[in-house]
């Protein structure tokens, strides 16, 4: 067993862990450095400054990047920690200069011990920031556990249908919803995408899911369901927070998919090597009170696929900043006709992962595949 992976309840040894860390970094240090700089720039610098850095020579780029990152770090600290940060930097600079300060009849020599104090202050500051991060991560992990509990444990089993469901947040918690519900022999499958990321999007996602589940058996028809959910989100939602949704209904033995689309990407029907894009739907949920939604249907022959996906698929970005894109997805789907729902879904995930490579996922990624079985 790797020494860095101690059994639960047992403390890890420092030196073996450090040795394993050095080995891991040494084998991939260049890619690790690029990822680290990319993550720092994405978090601390706005898009305009990142574009300016790309156009600079390497000396100017490194100098300005360092200054901009330090400045951004300074303003993200609390007031007390900003003071500690500046004092620590001044002490480190003073220790390098070996400054002699004259005060009256005596001289105070600022020596190398001053640098030690500055270093200790920086370590204390790092510990405080790490403590905050770990507390926040613990809360996010608890939130992710709640999200997983809300999701279906497995795809529903429906005679005549093959169903595959998948969602993966870009961060600890996400704003995509993939859900399935059996109501009196009717199986409802949802894929929703909440605007934004992380905890605010996750909270709205939970509200969308609970509202859908509460209303689906009370309203007549999917358009009425979408209208009710929209009215509730407009009434209770926050400004600039909305959700797109595809809500589909299938029945055992039927070859028809009934659905409503509220501002989401149009689902694709894969029939052999042919693709058909379903009509675009109405407004996203929570944007405009009184929005009207229309029912859609798709007739699937045995072996046909209906693919619903979030923009985390088409907007997946590689290290060069290129998008996975609609065309690449369509070419991929054209070769998946006739396969199982799981095979199609896994092929989509594999293609996206290969495309982004070492780049960090930018958005939540969700896919639903419905296949009409023979």
Task: Note the pLDDT tens digit of each residue in 21-68.
Answer: 777 766 666 777 777 777 788 888 888 888 888 888 888 888 998 899
303, part of any domain: yes
4, part of any domain: no
Same-domain check for residues 35 and 138: yes
Query: Scanning the structure block, which residue is given the tokens 């790490």?
Result: 130
* 17 membership: H or E segment, kind and range: helix 14-27
Could you tell me which residues are beta bridge partners of residue 100? 109
- Mean pLDDT on 291-299: 95
9, part of any domain: no
Same-domain check for residues 159 and 140: no
The predicted pLDDT at position 5 comes to 52
Same-domain check for residues 97 and 191: no
CA-to-CA dists, residue 130 to 43, 127, 134, angstroms: 16, 5, 6
Same-domain check for residues 186 and 64: no
Same-domain check for residues 66 and 215: no
CATH of the domain at 330: 3.60.40.10
The predicted pLDDT at position 169 comes to 84
Domain boundary among 110, 145, 180: 145
Task: Note the pLDDT tens digit of each residue in 163-215.
Answer: 999 998 887 667 889 999 999 889 999 999 988 776 778 888 888 999 999 99
Same-domain check for residues 98 and 209: no
Q: Phi, psi at residue 255, to the nearest 5°?
A: -105, 10
Same-domain check for residues 212 and 333: yes
Same-domain check for residues 355 and 230: yes
Task: Note the pLDDT tens digit of each residue in 116-144.
Answer: 888 888 888 888 888 887 777 776 676 66
The predicted pLDDT at position 2 comes to 46
pTM: 0.71
330, part of any domain: yes
What tokens does 349 get? 């995930």
The predicted pLDDT at position 130 comes to 81
* 79 membership: H or E segment, kind and range: helix 79-97
Same-domain check for residues 114 and 215: no
The predicted pLDDT at position 6 comes to 52
Task: Give the count of domains, the chain.
Answer: 2
C-alpha 121/C-alpha 125 separation (Å) is 6
Average pLDDT across the chain, whole number: 84
5, part of any domain: no
Same-domain check for residues 194 and 262: yes
Same-domain check for residues 117 and 183: no
Same-domain check for residues 90 and 174: no
* Distant-in-sequence contacts of 178-183, Cβ < 8 A, 24+ apart: 178/151, 178/152, 178/366, 178/368, 179/150, 179/151, 179/152, 179/209, 179/212, 179/213, 180/152, 180/155, 180/156, 181/212, 181/213, 181/216, 182/156, 183/216, 183/217
CA atoms 267, 272, 275, 276: torsion sign: negative
Look up the domain containing 214 and give its range. Answer: 151-372
C-alpha 232/C-alpha 212 separation (Å) is 11
DSSP secondary structure letters along 18-64? HHHHHHHHHHSHHHHHHHHHHHHHHHHS-HHHHHHHHTS-HHHHHHH
Domain boundary among 145, 174, 190: 145
DSSP secondary structure letters along 251-317? ETT--EEEEEEEBPPPPEEEETTEEEEPPP-BPPBTTSTT----EEEEE--TT-EEEEE-HHHHT-B
86, part of any domain: yes
Highest mean pLDDT among 7-16, 52-61, 100-109, 261-270: 261-270
């Amino acid at each position: 067993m790797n020494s860095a992976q101690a059994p639960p309840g047992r403390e890890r040894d420092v030196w073996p862990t450090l040795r394993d860390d050095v080995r891991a970094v040494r084998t991939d240090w260049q890619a690790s450095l690029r990822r680290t700089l990319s993550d720092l720039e994405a978090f601390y610098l706005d898009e305009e400054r990142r574009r300016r850095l790309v156009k600079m020579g390497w000396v100017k780029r490194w100098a300005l990047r360092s200054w901009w990152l330090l400045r951004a770090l300074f303003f993200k600290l609390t007031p007390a920690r900003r003071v500690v940060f500046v004092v620590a930097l001044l002490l480190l600079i003073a220790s390098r200069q070996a400054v002699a300060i004259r005060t009256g009849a005596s001289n105070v020599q600022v020596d190398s011990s001053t640098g030690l104090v500055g270093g200790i202050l920086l370590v204390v500051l790092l510990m405080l920031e790490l403590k905050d991060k770990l507390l926040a991560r613990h809360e996010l992990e608890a939130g992710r556990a709640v999200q997983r509990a809300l999701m279906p444990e497995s795809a529903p089993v429906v005679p005549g249908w093959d169903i595959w469901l998948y969602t993966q947040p870009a961060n600890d918690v996400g704003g995509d919803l993939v859900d399935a519900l059996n109501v009196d022999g009717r199986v409802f499958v949802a894929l929703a995408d909440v605007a934004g990321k992380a905890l605010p999007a996750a909270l709205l996602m939970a509200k969308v899911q609970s509202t859908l589940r509460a209303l689906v058996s009370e309203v007549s028809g999917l358009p009425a369901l979408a209208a009710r959910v929209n009215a509730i989100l407009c009434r209770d939602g926050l400004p600039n927070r909305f959700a797109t949704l595809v809500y589909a209904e299938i029945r055992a033995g039927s070859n028809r998919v009934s659905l409503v689309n509220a501002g989401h990407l149009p689902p694709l029907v894969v029939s052999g090597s042919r693709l058909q894009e379903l009509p675009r739907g109405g407004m996203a949920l929570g944007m405009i009170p009184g929005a009207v939604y229309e029912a859609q249907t798709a007739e699937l022959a045995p072996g046909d696929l209906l693919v619903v996906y979030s923009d985390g698929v088409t907007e997946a970005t590689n290290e060069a900043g290129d998008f996975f894109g609609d065309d690449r997805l369509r070419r991929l789907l054209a070769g998946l006709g006739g396969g199982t729902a799981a095979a199609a879904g896994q092929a989509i995930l594999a293609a996206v992962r290969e495309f982004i490579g070492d780049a960090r996922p930018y958005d939540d990624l969700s896919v639903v595949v419905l296949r009409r079985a023979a």
